[in-house]
């Protein structure tokens, strides 16, 4: 079963952990769904949308656990990206980890499962 990934500001993730649900970052709320990426997409997502950002968290979830609220939809160049239509119950989170910047200015990812 494939894992999908969310990059989130650490303060928003701490709030989500305290209340038990994550409604997304401001861009997610504005778009009407929570943006996720596959393992093959998440590094580009970090570079494109979070370049130079500090204090981020990488969140991993089992895609199949999210049910019909998760839709794979075309985005950049027609690639299918996972979008969650509704709040994320944090009980579905497999793990989360800090996503620090390395000396080269790129985010340093843990080993990812596809």
The CATH number of residue 62's host domain is: 3.20.170.20
Domain count, the chain: 1
pTM above 0.75, yes or no: yes
Q: Return d(Cα 59, Cα 93) in angstroms, integer.
A: 7
Residue 108 lies in a domain: no
| pLDDT for res 111 | 82
Residues of the chain with pLDDT under 50: none
The range of the structural domain enclosing residue 51 comes to 3-88
Instruction: Please name which of 105, 100, 22, 18 lies closest in space to residue 55, comparing C-alpha atoms.
Output: 100
| pLDDT for res 2 | 84
Residue 100 lies in a domain: no
Residue 95 lies in a domain: no
| pLDDT for res 114 | 59
**Separation in Å, CA 95 to CA 29, 59, 99:** 23, 6, 13
- Asked if residue 7 lies in contact with residue 98, where contact means CB atoms within 8 angstroms, the answer is no
């Amino acid at each position: 079963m494939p894992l999908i990934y969310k990059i989130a500001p650490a303060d928003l993730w701490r709030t989500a952990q305290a209340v038990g649900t994550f409604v997304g970052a401001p861009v997610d709320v504005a778009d009407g769904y929570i943006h996720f990426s596959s393992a093959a997409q998440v590094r580009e997502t970090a570079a494109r949308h979070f370049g130079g950002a500090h204090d981020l968290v990488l969140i991993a979830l089992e895609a199949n656990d999210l049910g019909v609220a998760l839709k794979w939809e075309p985005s950049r160049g027609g690639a299918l990206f996972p979008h969650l239509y509704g709040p994320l119950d944090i009980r579905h989170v497999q793990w989360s980890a800090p996503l620090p910047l390395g000396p080269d200015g790129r985010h340093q990812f843990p080993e990812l499962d596809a």
